[in-house]
Amino acid sequence: MPKRITYKKAGVNIDEADRAVASIRTLARRTFTKNVLTDIGSFGGGFRLTGYRDPVLVSSADGVGTKLKLAFLTGIHSTIGEDLVNHCVNDIAVQGCVPLFFLDYFAVGKLDARIAAQVVSGIARGCRSNGCALIGGETAEMPGLYAAGEYDLAGFIVGAVERKQMLTGESIKSGDLLLGLPSTGLHTNGYSLARKLLFEVAGHHAGTQVEELGGSIAEELLKIHRSYLAPLRALHNAGLLKGAAHITGGGITGNTPRILPKGLGVRIKTGSWPILPIFEILRKIGRIPEHDWRRTFNLGIGMILVVSPRKLKEAGRVLGSLRESFYLIGEVIRGRGVTYK
């Protein structure tokens, strides 16, 4: 008589999935707003859109790249979800949007409900701090697809903006000024190179203390990708913001041109902001060519804002009221691409 083979013996533990979903449901409910119409566990998430006359829905999907490797290495899983939410929020906030709701995708070879709950706790924290609701997602156990102890994580966000208030960059002109808002570190980009340099080339480990960093390698690399929603909303509501660029993969070089009208470029003033020590350390270890260095990392600037020269003082007052640091890092010029002076 052949052996009885269950789903669990094939590698999928439904009981563990039920435990994970129970934790996720509790965490997600804490993010719900009055516009959430369905509970976690529904086949689809329902959200009522109110308060707009001519709304445009803006969506984005993203992951956190190989920063996940740091979570696996350190066993710290409670911050990676917040990285994910903040990254997605920034991507739609640059278009003038208010985030409405978020969905996540968590995939693993063997599900551990405890780790899943830690990951989702970060997602929920990020959603609460940005005022958006975690209304659904997918937790997938797929034996044989992921290495033991590893998982993948992605997020999907939807926001809304009045059509006439959408930031498109079309009003940007030559002579407009670029304000840089500081990053906390690598955010969620450049980790493949950073890990190679720090762990393989320099021989460091997660717990290595580095004086210039004021802590360990792990502490530095796990710093949370910050949200820029508050300063973006404040400037946009005041009518001061002409455009904004989230500085992610590609750095200032690759991301700033994405918001510029045809025929315009930007001139960045080198030395106009403090480059964080981690980027100087990486550059020294790898003897990274300057062009590649600037295209890989944010170098301490996580968001670039475009304002009119006439509005600079007023923008400064708004940012100051939020205790938000900023640097005047360059200007819009006629031409193409990004030049550094």
Predicted pLDDT of residue 9: 61
pTM of the complete model: 0.93
Is residue 309 situated within a structural domain? yes
Residues 90 and 229 in one domain: no
Contact by Cβ (8 Å): 220, 184:
no
116 and 82 in a common domain: yes
- Joined together, the tokens standing for residue 89 give 């929020």
Domain ends where: 140, 165, 190?
165
Amino acid at 202: A
Say what the pLDDT of residue 41 is: 83
Do residues 220 and 114 share a domain?
no
Examine the domain organization and report whether 28 and 133 are in the same domain: yes
CATH at residue 306:
3.90.650.10
Please report whether residue 37 resides in a domain.
yes
Encoding tokens for residue 155? 């997020």
Give a yes or no: residue 171 inside a domain. no
**Residue 25 and residue 90 in one domain:** yes
Of 139, 165, 191, the position where a domain reaches its end is: 165
User: pLDDT under 70 in the chain at which residues?
Assistant: 1-11
In a domain? residue 1: no
The pLDDT value given to residue 43: 87
E strand intervals along the chain: 55-63, 98-108, 133-141, 151-162, 177-182, 209-210, 215-216, 243-246, 264-268, 301-307, 327-334, 338-340
For residues 46 and 115, membership in a common domain is answered with yes
Has residue 2 been placed in a domain? no
185 is in which domain, residue-wise? 177-340
Amino acid at 199: F
Burial of 33 (0-12, 13-18, 19+ CB in 10 A): middle
Beta-ladder partners of 245 = 304
Residue type, 19: R
Q: Is residue 5 part of a domain?
A: no
35 and 142 assigned to the same domain: yes
Q: What are phi and psi of 157, to 5 degrees?
A: -125, 150
**Structural domain contains residue 220:** yes
Q: What is the 3-state secondary structure (H, E, C) of 151-165?
A: EEEEEEEEEEEEHHH
Domain harbouring 27, CATH code: 3.30.1330.10
pLDDT digits (tens, 9 = 90+) for 119-132: 999 999 999 999 99
Q: Is there a single domain that holds both residue 239 and residue 205?
A: yes
Residues 56 and 80 in one domain: yes
Is-contact 77 125, C-beta < 8 A? no
32 and 104 assigned to the same domain: yes
Which of 165, 200, 215 is where one domain is finished? 165
Q: Which runs of E-coded beta strand occur in 255-316?
A: 264-268, 301-307
Q: Is residue 147 domain-shared with residue 223, that is, in the same domain? A: no
Residues 118 and 66 reside in one and the same domain: yes
Residue 277, phi then psi, degrees to nearest 5: -55, -35
Question: Which tens digit of pLDDT belongs to each residue from 136-167?
Answer: 999 999 998 999 999 999 999 999 999 999 99
**Domains of the chain: total:** 2
Query: Has residue 20 been placed in a domain?
Result: yes
